[in-house]
Amino acid sequence: MQRVVRTFLAVLTSVVSAVFLSVTTVTPAVAAEPLTYVPEGDFTTYCQAHGYVGAELVAQNAYGWRCVSPSGEYVTFSVTAVCREVTVKDNSPTVLDFLYDFTDAGSRGWWCYRLSQVAPLGRLDVDRYCRYEGYDRGVLVGGDTALNWVCESSGFSTPLNSVDRLSIGCGRQYPSPLGDVAARVVDFFDPRAIDCMV
């Protein structure tokens, strides 16, 4: 009987040790982390790697880049693919593009981020965020884009005209134990298409 008990305790000790070691060696995920901006030359490198002549700017904004085919046709492409294949050189699904400045077709337009998870925490509810901060409402002023939001009360207002300001709203709406939450503008021309990512 004692031999059975000893054997059982030895097996139990081994299992507990294995579980403890596997738990302690897991690396925790981190918050949304900006890795680097996307240099203009990376668009050309990406397009050429996919058989195009190069990249060309067809509009003076971050959405203006196109690959140019040998026959001169303009072809849209994914900036996330540029991040993964050229800028960061990591094809992980947790590497995504983030629009930073729509008006900048150069190096401030796009950033590559590494996320702890691919799925968004949710969409930013700007009106809810503004009310939480003590304003009367969140409204669109001067246009219908993701950066035309304003937190407004009678007598004072605060424009949410940058991704950094939208990220503060995401952090308030979806606090994460992982750290900073970042706003990802999914579609600049849809003011409600702002994902909160971590």
For 125-154, write each residue's pLDDT tens digit: 999 999 999 999 999 999 999 999 999 999
pLDDT tens by residue, 48-85? 999 999 999 999 999 999 999 999 999 999 999 999 99
Nearest residue to 112 (alpha-carbon basis) of 194, 42, 12: 42
Residue 186: HSE in the Cβ half-sphere, 13 Å Cα cutoff:
13
Residue 148: HSE in the Cβ half-sphere, 13 Å Cα cutoff:
14
State the pTM of this model. 0.80
pLDDT tens by residue, 5-57? 444 334 434 433 443 333 333 344 568 899 999 999 999 999 999 999 999 99
Residue with tokens 């035309």: 148
Query: How far is the C-alpha of 65 from the C-alpha of 75, rounded, in Å?
Result: 9
What letter would DSSP give residue 99? E
Instruction: Read off the pLDDT band of 2 (50, 70, 90).
Output: low
pLDDT tens by residue, 83-116? 999 999 999 999 999 999 999 999 899 999 999 9
Q: What is the pLDDT of residue 86?
A: 98
Single-letter residue type at 79: V
Query: How far is the C-alpha of 53 from the C-alpha of 51, rounded, in Å?
Result: 7
Nearest residue to 124 (alpha-carbon basis) of 65, 181, 63: 181
